[in-house]
Structure 1
Amino acid sequence: MSLILLFLILLSISLSWATSFSYPTPQTFIQCMSKQFGPYTKFVGTIYTSNSSLYLHLLQSSQQNPRWLNFSTPKPLLIITPFQESEIQAIILCSKKYNLQIRVRSGGHDYKGLSYLCKTPFILVDLFNLRSVEINLEDETAWVQTGATLGELYYSLAKRSEIHGFPAGLCPSVGVGGHLSGGSLCTLLWKYGLAADNVLDAYLIDANGKITDRETMGEDLFWAIRGRGGASFGVILSWKIKLVRVPPTVTTFNIKKTLEQGATKLVSKWQYISDKLHEDLFIRVIIQNVGNGTQKTVQASFNSLFLGGVDRLMPLMNESFPELGLQAENCTEMNWIQSILFFEWISNKFLKEERVFMIMDPSGGQMKEISESDIPFPHRKGNLYNIQYLVWWEVNGIKASNKHVHWIRMLYKYMRPYVSKFPRAAYLNYRDLDFGTNKESNVSYLEARVWGLKYFKGNFKRFAQVKSKVDPKNFFRNKQSIPFLETGAD
């Protein structure tokens, strides 16, 4: 066979394959979805095409990072806002039929925008209509749909009980779906662990459009979605969580110290004691540059949540951290819900200023009592604290982005000798694509290990085994999704 003939045959096969997997028009996809429903089932969600007047508004409504709003960023073929499970099933089945990827958004806080970005045509599934919170105080549990925000969960709890809380994050606009499935650091982790440690059950739609719960999905998949994120395995519909007991009165404080006021020694002392404090006492440190011109300096803010009153807090602080100089008048007693607002107010105060800063969260108490393999989040024993590197700016644009991203990369590089190594560990919900990404067409386990071990340490291989079992055709994928475990890979 001549080379020319062979080339023409291969080209014909290539063209045939491309034709068979041509992307549909929005109308074609909508027709496919309608065929998935029986004669007595009605599609009640909303489908937005790029011609819809609300398309751009909806696309931008919950994107917390304006870097991803520029005109060169690929936009979804459709934005679909389902109201019921069957609509999501139809989206999955039709996306598979037309070789489309899907992106699922529950809050829009993904630092790298993986919940709404894709290089090839894709469907954006926004779950903000699925936001119910059903609380059962008798058995101290709640079912929370993925589209609910942390603020809505906390509000529902506050209406029902003064002594129940849940160990999750501080930002009220974060979606429950991505937050819980990534692990969830919080101010209650000392006493109760992560949010993912307190998940009892979940409903998930798999790559075949089947709805499963903990029993039917199996313990391996249930293990995987509590700390890895559901984006590699399916669409998580709702979570059953275990509520925790909190005292009616808690105490907060926020002490600020500059370099000139001894911040360096205080941070040094905090590093030695932060993981050994009483389980009712959580103290984090925020380090930032403050001032302008010749008045520029570095400031450390020690903000704390104590599960109890000032009368109990002061003896503990005088014994374990007297150098901070805490006085009773520096403290404020409140309830647990108010403490969430206190921490959020502090965070917003930092974010309104164009600054580079670090948030250092201690890892002690209950965190060290839970095995690194109980759920996918492995940063437990031997981990003193977690650092979140942040830079915030208001002016959007390539020049501003390049400037500030360069700043944060310099800071990250500077910290290299002083943090965990071999590998340098990282927390999934502080996602970083600089660690490495998957190839679009061929997701390799051996290549993905470069970033996977940073997030998950020894748990990464188990992820790949679960992926090979529950999504063998790799329908659910993104730049840092879990790959298959190739034969012979280790």
Structure 2
Amino acid sequence: MSSIKLFSLMFFLCSSPCFSAPKSSDPNSLYKSFLKCLPTSSPKPDTSFPSIVYSSAANSSAYTKVLQDRIKNLRYKTTATSKPAIIVTPKKETHVQAAVICAKKLNIHIRIRSGGHDYEGVSYALSEKTQFMILDMFNLRSVNVNVAVETVVAEAGAQLGDLYYRIWEKSKVHGFPAGVCVTLGVGGHISGAGYGTMIRKYGVSVDHVIDAKIVDVKGRLLDRKGMGEDLFWALRGGGGSNFGVIVSFTMKLVKVPKVITVFKVTKTVEEKAVDLVFKWQSVMSTVDKDLFIRALLNPAPESKKKTAKATFIALFLGDSTKLMSLMSKSFPELGLKKADCFEISWIQSILYWFNIDYKKTKLEVLLERNNGANFLKRKSDYVQTPITKQGLTAIFNKVGELGKIGLALNPYGGRMNEIPANATAFPHRAGNLFKIQYSLTWNENDPKVTEKYMNQTRVMYEFMTKYVAKNPRISFLNYKDFDIGVNKGDGYNSGKVFGQKYYKNNFDRLVKVKTAVDPENFFRNEQSIPIPPGKKKHTGVSMVEDSIYQ
């Protein structure tokens, strides 16, 4: 090659300033390199980048606040938890594009946080051996409702409280089927499927997503048309952070009546709680789609023996008269009384389900961002065959024996039986009676207590093996659980273990999409979609071996 051609090639490669990762692990070096890179990588001229980049070395107090304010699981808020070298907090789409481009140029691993629960800290923690950054989306939280065409556009950093409040502002007869917890981040919750109290009527959140914006590994901002139908399919239930950075979702609103009825009834074993849960299994699979009843099993320390109690909490899309008529025919054993029922609006039902006094609390509470944190562990299962009374008795006794863990039984049926498993990346549709969430929360900042309670969740999970779905034993992506497997080595074989539990037969298609849009596996985490063996892999960050998660 001639010297002129060589010079021309080098000029082409560096026509935008060439950057390389700092040779040292000094966060300040990376901070300076990132600040230098961002303006040259932005699609538009921008001088605001210094205000959105944080480093422990450059602005330590602000960095600490930004890092810790959205850590909801205190298991990942310790001195042993890995810390990002920098945090970028974009305020517009072009900030996201520049951040992705610079992370790629500087060979820095990226974690994406939309500000919700994140049960395993995937969005803000990593192996201690690796330098990484957080792309924190909390400033991108706008929600724009268009009642005329019945759509809403929500940015990834919005919480469900923002989404629900903004819909209510514009319409009293529209809602959206998403989670009970108003502190969930839109980006993660919806890309993982989105499950809520209107699931039997309207399905999961992704069933109503009609468009999305994502920044891909090349820094391109793509909508549905630009990304293509394969990637759009994958984003709906396959976890957005596997493929890029979700910026926003466009969704269709659903109709809700002006009057909604809720109730909560608790029964002890002496009040035939076991028989009621047994009947509940068959009722909820066939009852009117407008009715959703969650059954909660929690320890009953007031009981004479170690056992559990059952709480039935409901949402009915209609008035109490219609509900009472429905319950008298389908579930009279519960003994529901008119006095147990409360007729409220859809937005008030959001507060009710989040354990907020809807009579005394202003709706603006839904817009609050300081939501607290706890030590917690969550796991999930699906039940496809009714559990016998003998089995339920054993489960009640095990919950009482362990003394802390609770089980939330979330019913299926209705609309979920009508949508094919491959319609979106979320596969858990027909054939499921209910989903179980295993829930354990504690406040003691003591490693021994943490280990005790982590073990309790595993004991309960193992105990439930014979009652739940098998081959594979399936799990819900939004209830992330590292116990069911993490990426190791080449990622594919280990990824297949948990991947088939989260995605069932959709796993292979997700791998194909991942390989096509991110062939170097730049967007990855402990439970990300892997790429097949032999394909080109990013070498800047090793997968989990001796990480803080094991």
Q: TM-score, normalised by structure 2?
A: 0.82
Please tell me whether residue 153 in structure 1 is matched to residue 163 in structure 2: yes
Matches of 2:434 and 2:350 in 1, distance apart?
A: 20
Matches of 1:235 and 1:151 in 2, distance apart?
A: 21
Matches of 2:431 and 2:160 in 1, distance apart?
A: 29
Aligned to 2:465: 416
- Structure 2 CA distance for partners of 1:437 and 1:323, relative to 1, 3 Å: same
Please tell me whether residue 477 in structure 1 is matched to residue 485 in structure 2: no
SS in 2 for 1:371: coil
- Which of 88, 104, 121 aligns to 1:113? It is 121
Q: How does 1:16-415 map to 2 (within 5 A)?
A: 24-37=29-42, 40-44=45-49, 45-51=51-57, 52=59, 53-119=61-127, 120-291=130-301, 296-345=306-355, 355-415=404-464
Residues 199, 416 of structure 2: 8 Å contact kept: yes
Aligned partner letter, 1:358: L
- The Cα of 1:143 is off from its aligned counterpart by 0.7
Q: Deviations over 1:420-455 (max 9, x none)?
A: 01110100001111111112xx43323311111111
Matches of 2:337 and 2:256 in 1, distance apart?
A: 24
- Structure 2 CA distance for partners of 1:39 and 1:195, relative to 1, 3 Å: closer
- Structure 2 CA distance for partners of 1:292 and 1:54, relative to 1, 3 Å: farther
Residues 146, 237 of structure 1: 8 Å contact kept: yes
Matches of 1:293 and 1:121 in 2, distance apart?
A: 51
SS in 2 for 1:447: helix
Aligned to 2:9: none
Residues 84, 134 of structure 2: 8 Å contact kept: yes
SS in 1 for 2:96: helix
Matches of 1:77 and 1:19 in 2, distance apart?
A: 12
Q: TM-score, normalised by structure 1?
A: 0.91
Aligned partner letter, 1:223: W
Residues 285, 303 of structure 1: 8 Å contact kept: yes
Matches of 2:40 and 2:182 in 1, distance apart?
A: 38
- Structure 2 CA distance for partners of 1:292 and 1:26, relative to 1, 3 Å: farther
Residues 135, 141 of structure 1: 8 Å contact kept: yes
- Structure 2 CA distance for partners of 1:306 and 1:352, relative to 1, 3 Å: farther
Matches of 1:161 and 1:37 in 2, distance apart?
A: 38
Answer with 44-53 or 19-28: which moved more.
19-28
- Structure 2 CA distance for partners of 1:110 and 1:39, relative to 1, 3 Å: closer
Answer with 468-477 or 55-64: which moved more.
55-64
Q: How does 1:455-470 map to 2 (within 5 A)?
A: 455-470=502-517
- The Cα of 1:123 is off from its aligned counterpart by 0.9
Residues 391, 408 of structure 1: 8 Å contact kept: yes
- The Cα of 1:297 is off from its aligned counterpart by 3.7
Residues 90, 139 of structure 2: 8 Å contact kept: yes
Identity of aligned residues (%): 45
Matches of 1:382 and 1:127 in 2, distance apart?
A: 36
Aligned length: 467
- The Cα of 1:25 is off from its aligned counterpart by 2.6
Matches of 1:20 and 1:234 in 2, distance apart?
A: 24
* Superposed CA RMSD: 2.2
Structure 1, unaligned runs of 5 or more: 1-17
- The Cα of 1:355 is off from its aligned counterpart by 3.0
Matches of 2:23 and 2:512 in 1, distance apart?
A: 28
Instruction: Kindly report structure 1 stretches of 4+ aligned residues shifted beyond 4 Å.
Output: 18-24, 292-296, 351-354
Residues 82, 127 of structure 1: 8 Å contact kept: yes
SS in 2 for 1:167: coil
Aligned to 1:4: none
Matches of 2:34 and 2:144 in 1, distance apart?
A: 34
Q: Deviations over 1:246-267 (max 9, x none)?
A: 0000000001001111100000
Matches of 1:49 and 1:487 in 2, distance apart?
A: 36
SS in 2 for 1:238: strand
SS in 2 for 1:317: helix
SS in 2 for 1:434: helix
Aligned to 1:10: none
Q: Deviations over 1:387-410 (max 9, x none)?
A: 000101011231111011111111
- Which of 427, 437, 455 aligns to 2:486? It is 437
Structure 2, unaligned runs of 5 or more: 1-19, 358-370, 377-402, 536-550
SS in 2 for 1:428: coil
- Structure 2 CA distance for partners of 1:433 and 1:40, relative to 1, 3 Å: closer
Aligned partner letter, 2:346: W
- Structure 2 CA distance for partners of 1:270 and 1:28, relative to 1, 3 Å: same
Residues 452, 460 of structure 1: 8 Å contact kept: yes
SS in 2 for 1:316: helix
SS in 2 for 1:430: coil
Matches of 2:243 and 2:513 in 1, distance apart?
A: 9
- The Cα of 1:310 is off from its aligned counterpart by 0.8
- The Cα of 1:382 is off from its aligned counterpart by 0.7
- Structure 2 CA distance for partners of 1:67 and 1:394, relative to 1, 3 Å: same
